[in-house]
Amino acid sequence: MTEKITDETMDYVSILAKLSLSEEEREEAKKDMEKMLNYIDVLQELDTEGIEPSAHVFPIYNVMREDESFEKDTSELLKNAPKEKDGCIVVPKTIGTEA
Amino acid sequence: MRDQFETVIGLEVHVELATSSKIFCSCSTKFGQKVNTQVCPVCMGMPGALPVLNKKVVDYAMAIGLATNCEITKNSRFDRKNYFYPDNPQNYQISQLYFPIARNGYIEIELEDQKKRIGIHEMHMEEDAGKLIHDEWEDASLVDYNRSGVPLVEIVSEPDLSSPEEVVAYLETLRRTIQYLGASDCKLQEGSMRVDVNLSVKKLGSKELGTRTEMKNLNSFKAIKRAIIEERNRQIEVLEDGKQVVQETRRWDDNKETSYAMRSKEEAQDYRYFPDPDLVPLLISDEWIDQIQKSQPELRGDKKKRYIEEYKLPEYDADILTQSKKMADIFEETLQWCRQPKKVSNWLMVETFRLLKENNMEPEDIRFSPENLGKLINLTLDGGINNTVAKEVFEEVFYKNIDPEAYVQENGLKAIDDTEALKEVIQKILQDNPKSVEDFKGGKEKAFGFLVGQTMKVMKGKANPTLVNQILREIL
């Protein structure tokens, strides 16, 4: 079937997903990802000749709203943050590594 | 050695659109509000929150696209650009990679004696990120999501630019066009216009492009010019040392007038773009494009022509007044109060520009009302005040937006046209300055100027100078 996912690929994907996996978790994830790729192989057997590529399954376009702004109750929103200070969400220091 | 290289520059310009709500939610975009008060589950990236596109963003993007001679993409779509950073709460930015709203345009820039066409590769719509604030006390950063989800367009030029002068001309033209459209105020200092410079150097005449760097954190035209010169020199030095230019993003430090690498290509992100499943595609009809085209406001070229034809202004005046939309607006509004176009133009071109320059301000920073300028000009026209006084009053209008009529009244600044009263004063001055009178009669014109000056001094500048001249000549 599909090419086996290499350890290098696993390392790369872990970096992109910002995950540090234990050896066991890594093997599990590798198996899951291989299953997914195998499923995609099945999909690729379909004959899509003459079919327009689409980003969506439904033929719906132009879902838009008018440019109106509303005042919102924001009091609850920060409660989801692990740490809050002066109305801001506290995150690890980012200076110097700016994107 | 330096002359053997040519510089190749392409620009990425981000512009914040002047909508009242964000691109995918109805939070306000108002600037300078209290932290995290203009947020909701959508722009804070809460699980399950769904974005809905703001139609005005598409309207503005199309208006900019059409004004920059782009083709509008009829099947446009949003994609997710994936990366982790605390200013991006969803861990992806909604942007456009595969089907940007507009492509293949150009802007014509005017250089000293020639015109040059600068290509626009594409323009896409996307959302802005939040703001990170460094916490002085703790080893941490604070995030404010008020800017998260503010609509942006990114305009990517072709690498058609080759000097700092061309870059500034391109940016000024682009900014003016967008300001005329009312799509953004385009303020570099406040970040509503942000410019990243992609630059590489290559041997003169060579077909092969060199490795480019991307320069960020450029907050003024001055910084942009300086950064281009420095980066060009840096790359040439690297090459002349026999080394390779590294493809990287650099950050400009305007105080030190130098740049440093922000991150190298090795750790560069793999953005894994894919179509955003939360947003359905856009299908842009000819009718929609037509409607935007028809509602485009008068752009600079047409306005300039109209000023010359309708208001009989010299081309020079029309050129300067239309350089910024704000100045053109003030000119036209002042005409509602004072129907003398050339006089209004003079006050804007001389006194207004003088004070703007002295205060390091842009026309956009003007706070006085056209009504007060119009009233002031009228006061000078009906002889109510003379020019010296008018200039003083104008400073009050410029800085404090005072009502010139009331101000002149309160401070007793009306010009004195009373011939008899003036005659008396002048007689006294002639008696007190017999030497000057003698000098003048002996043919020294300078002495006449001195006597006029003395009279104006006694009258505290309120006398009508023409009248003073006339009376003096009569008596002498």
Q: DSSP of B290-331, one letter per residue?
A: HHHHHTPPP-HHHHHHHHHHHS---HHHHHHHTTSHHHHHHH
Question: A57-61, B104-108, B450-454 — which one is most confidently predicted on average?
Answer: B104-108
Six-digit token string for A68 = 């109106």
Q: Quote the distance between the C-alpha of residue A6 and its chain's center.
A: 21
Asked if residue B224 and residue B261 are part of one domain, the reply reads yes
Average pLDDT of chain B? 90
In this structure, of A47-51, B278-282, B288-292, the range with the lowest mean pLDDT score is A47-51
- Sequence-distant (≥ 6) Cβ neighbours of residue B250 within 8 angstroms: B213, B214, B215, B216, B231, B259, B260, B261, B262
Determine, for residues B280 and A91 on separate chains, whether the beta-carbon distance falls below 8 Å.
Answer: no
Arithmetic mean of pLDDT, A32-44: 92
Six-digit token string for B98 = 């595969």
User: B362-397, pLDDT tens digit by residue?
Assistant: 898 999 999 999 999 998 887 678 888 899 999 999
Q: Which amino acid is at B416?
A: I
Residue B189: Cβ within 10 Å count: 9
Asked if residue B397 and residue B348 are part of one domain, the reply reads yes
A61: nearest CB among B52, B138, B283: B283
In this structure, of B149-158, B204-213, B307-316, B367-376, the range with the lowest mean pLDDT score is B204-213
Helix axes of B445-458 and B419-432: crossing angle, nearest 10 degrees: 120
Is the CB of A82 inside 8 Å of chain B's CB atoms?
no
Is the CB of A57 inside 8 Å of chain B's CB atoms?
no
Asked if residue B319 and residue B180 are part of one domain, the reply reads no
- Enumerate the residues of chain A whose CB falls inside 8 A of the CB of residue B26: 65, 68-70
- Burial of residue A37, with CB atoms counted within 10 A of its CB: 0-12 exposed, 13-18 middle, 19 or more buried: middle
Asked if residue B393 and residue B461 are part of one domain, the reply reads no
Residue B110: C-alpha distances to residues B16, B186, B305, B326, B342 (Å): 25, 20, 17, 21, 26
Alpha-carbon span B99 to A84, nearest angstrom:
39
**DSSP bridge pairs for A63:** none
Q: How far is B461 from chain A (nearest CA, A)?
A: 54
Q: How far is B45 from chain A (nearest CA, A)?
A: 11
Is the CB of B275 inside 8 Å of chain A's CB atoms?
yes
Determine, for residues A87 and B139 on separate chains, whether the beta-carbon distance falls below 8 Å.
Answer: no
Residue B261: C-alpha distances to residues B210, B337, B384 (Å): 18, 55, 62
Alpha-carbon span B247 to B244, nearest angstrom:
9
Answer with the residue of higher pLDDT: B218 or A1: B218
Average pLDDT of chain A? 86
Determine, for residues B36 and A80 on separate chains, whether the beta-carbon distance falls below 8 Å.
Answer: no
Domain final residue, candidates B245, B266, B289: B289
- Sequence-distant (≥ 6) Cβ neighbours of residue B341 within 8 angstroms: B307, B311, B312, B313, B335
Number of domains in chain B: 3
Arithmetic mean of pLDDT, B467-474: 79
Confidence of residue B418 (pLDDT cuts 50, 70, 90): low
- By percentage, how much of chain B surpasses pLDDT 70? 96
Arithmetic mean of pLDDT, B345-353: 95
- Enumerate the residues of chain B whose CB falls inside 8 A of the CB of residue A16: 82, 269-270, 272
pLDDT at position A98 is 43
Is the CB of A94 inside 8 Å of chain B's CB atoms?
yes
pLDDT at position B279 is 95
B56: nearest CB among A56, A67, A77: A67
How many CB pairs (< 8 A) connect A and B? 136
Asked if residue B226 and residue B111 are part of one domain, the reply reads yes
Arithmetic mean of pLDDT, B40-51: 94
In this structure, of B8-17, B77-86, B121-130, the range with the lowest mean pLDDT score is B77-86
Window 286-345 of B, Cβ < 8 Å to A: none
The fold of the A1-46 domain, in CATH, is: Histone, subunit A (1.10.20)
User: B209-263, pLDDT tens digit by residue?
Assistant: 899 999 999 999 999 999 999 999 999 999 999 999 999 899 999 999 999 988 6
Confidence of residue B266 (pLDDT cuts 50, 70, 90): very low
Q: Flag whether pLDDT at B62 surpasses 90.
A: yes
A89: nearest CB among B84, B142, B283: B142
Helix axes of B465-475 and B445-458: crossing angle, nearest 10 degrees: 120
Domains in chain A: boundaries: 1-46
Arithmetic mean of pLDDT, B30-59: 95
pLDDT at position B265 is 41
Asked if residue B140 and residue B32 are part of one domain, the reply reads yes
Helix axes of B55-67 and B164-181: crossing angle, nearest 10 degrees: 130
CATH number of B458's domain: 1.10.10.410
pLDDT at position A1 is 45
pLDDT at position B190 is 86
Alpha-carbon span B215 to B345, nearest angstrom:
40
- In a mutagenesis test of the B interface, which of A9, A61, A64, A83 is the best target, namely the one with the most B β-carbons within 10 Å? A64
Q: Flag whether pLDDT at B73 surpasses 80.
A: yes
Answer with the residue of higher pLDDT: B270 or B154: B154
Asked if residue B307 and residue B371 are part of one domain, the reply reads yes
In this structure, of A54-58, A70-74, B265-269, the range with the lowest mean pLDDT score is B265-269
- Range of the structural domain that residue B51 is part of: 2-289
Asked if residue B429 and residue B384 are part of one domain, the reply reads no
Six-digit token string for B154 = 């990114």
Q: Flag whether pLDDT at B12 surpasses 60.
A: yes
Arithmetic mean of pLDDT, B397-402: 94
Asked if residue B303 and residue B186 are part of one domain, the reply reads no
Asked if residue B284 and residue B225 are part of one domain, the reply reads yes
Determine, for residues A70 and B283 on separate chains, whether the beta-carbon distance falls below 8 Å.
Answer: no
pLDDT at position B21 is 97
